[in-house]
Amino acid sequence: MLLLLLMATAGLYRRLLPCPPAVEFASSQGKELFLEAIHNGTMEGFYKLVSHFQTQSEPAFCGLASLSMVLNALAIDPGRKWKGPWRWFDESMLDCCESLEKVKVQGITFGKLVCLAQCAGAKVDSFRASHSSLDDFRKYVIKCSMSDECHVISSYHRAALKQTGNGHFSPIGGYHAGKDMALVLDVARFKYPPHWIPLKILWEGMNYVDEATGRTRGFLLVSRPHREPGLLYTLSCKHESWINIAKFLIDDVPLLLKSEDVKDVHQVVSIIVSSLPSKSEQFIKWVAEIRRREDGGPSLSTEEKARLAIKEEVLKQVQETGLFKYVASFLSNSCSRESPYDADALPVIAASICCQGAEILAGKPWSPAGYSCEVTCMKCLKAEDDKPITMVSGTVVNGNTEQGVDVLIPSSNRKSCRNCSSPSNYMRMHPASTDVLTVLLLSLPSTTWTGIKDEQLLTEIHSLVSTENLPSLLQEEVLHLRRQLHLLKRRQEGKVDQDLGAPHS
């Protein structure tokens, strides 16, 4: 009987919080600090955070739990389903910079958590302790404690706090100015409860070197962008060829332009597009507006119309760029063997998008053999302002189950949906190859073009691709893709931790 009792109680149930230096949040002293901080206005960030407070689901998931908690507190839409019909950030969805299996074993580094936050659509400012100061840290903690528009995630070593364990991530929920203490909302709630800690001691913990990277820890300032990134375009890593494509775009294109004696913009476009690796058309995607047919009905919701209107404005801005005219000219004169981007058969694309939409809505891993689109048809909806809206409807089959999926297609000024009876009228009423390629070229790093020898051509190229010359919506779209491309390249090189920032120029 005693042996069975010992077996049943094996394992650890919490730890005794070392006090000092910490003060437990739920203690009488902790409550007093809390009330004083509220009175001083430095607990404004607490309420949203505590509304989404979670316990990490794996011993090494502290970084993922901290980030998902902050992303949900900032009300950033993940754009993909968690469970059932709900879109919600969960640790299991944060896998774009490191595999979950690897994080489960090794945890996640500071740089890769920054990468994850950027991939998730947040605005991130990252600071290693070695390149910052206690005063800087205090300034940002106070800033986010007085607002619910940003949150700080601290990466520190527990030893500095006299706690067991080593590297750890947790959000900071508030600040007490009189005591110079931060409220650590420890996501390892099975181990330690939320607690107040002197800011100086927490800073000392961030100055520990992470053995995995040889660099100090630090803190992230995470905030919500003023609009969701990637409204119309995004880079995709679903196909295994993404590594070669990212390398080609960043490393090989500058060398091609330097080695060739290019004389005009047409030749520049031709060299790049004709040399693209296979499957490159799967690398950049347009973000479709997808809904279950039973969720939609014949009319569009206010939210759907608003998102579609912004997509159409981005598409319009793409088509008004000077570069678009050169890309359109090249594709119209190229034959199929020269470019993977020369076919724009919307029914074929729509069938593929319907299948992907069903997979996204089902929350299942992409399996090309699992989904097939049996029927697709195109029709027009009339909005209240009599503006026609193109919609592709498909019946997607997966095994013995069928699901109706609608895809809303952003229209452009080049074509109008006047005759909805003929599929040919829809051929370019979506972000077509010309649009996608234009945006991809605009998203290349500014250093791409420096090898061009002809000074006049170089000046012309710079005027065509400069983000400063783009309207605001398109500028943000391009900079988002440029950040994605930069992160993918650093990930492919295993150098995410060496360079936390993504270029904006």
Same domain, 209 and 250: no
Same domain, 241 and 213: no
Q: Is 465 domain-assigned? A: no
Q: How many CA atoms lie within 13 A of 180 on its CB side?
A: 11
Q: Is 451 domain-assigned? A: no
Same domain, 260 and 389: yes
Q: Is 72 domain-assigned? A: yes
Q: Is 434 exposed, middle or buried (0-12, 13-18, 19+ CB in 10 A)?
A: buried
Q: Is 140 domain-assigned? A: yes
Same domain, 168 and 250: no
Q: Is the pLDDT of residue 498 over 90?
A: no
Asked if 216 and 208 count as a contact pair (C-beta separation under 8 A), the reply is yes
How many whole angstroms separate alpha carbon 152 and alpha carbon 147?
A: 11
Q: Which of 143-147, 166-170, 246-250 is predicted least confidently?
A: 246-250
**Model pLDDT, residue 39:** 94
Same domain, 318 and 195: no
Same domain, 212 and 319: no
Q: Is 353 domain-assigned? A: yes
Instruction: State the residue range of the domain holding 108.
Output: 16-223
| pLDDT per position as a tens digit, 322-369 | 999 999 888 877 654 344 544 445 556 666 666 666 565 555 444 444
Same domain, 188 and 335: no
Q: Is 456 domain-assigned? A: no
| pLDDT per position as a tens digit, 15-49 | 888 889 999 999 999 999 999 999 999 999 999 99
Enzyme catalytic residues: 62, 168, 186
Q: What angle do CA 375, 377, 378 make, to 5 degrees?
A: 160
Same domain, 211 and 100: yes
Asked if 218 and 129 count as a contact pair (C-beta separation under 8 A), the reply is yes
Q: Is the pLDDT of residue 62 over 90?
A: yes
Domain boundary among 180, 199, 223: 223
Q: Is 466 domain-assigned? A: no
| pLDDT per position as a tens digit, 440-476 | 899 888 888 888 888 898 899 899 988 888 888 888 8
Is the torsion defined by CA of 410, 416, 421, 423 positive or negative?
A: negative
Same domain, 182 and 312: no
**Model pLDDT, residue 7:** 52
Same domain, 276 and 415: yes
**Model pLDDT, residue 429:** 47
Q: Is 361 domain-assigned? A: yes
Identify which has the larger pLDDT, 116 or 80. Answer: 116
Domain boundary among 205, 223, 241: 223
Same domain, 69 and 182: yes
The total of structural domains in the chain comes to 2
| pLDDT per position as a tens digit, 252-301 | 888 888 887 788 889 899 888 888 887 676 677 777 777 666 655 566 77
| pLDDT per position as a tens digit, 206-233 | 999 998 888 899 999 999 875 555 577 7
**Model pLDDT, residue 137:** 95
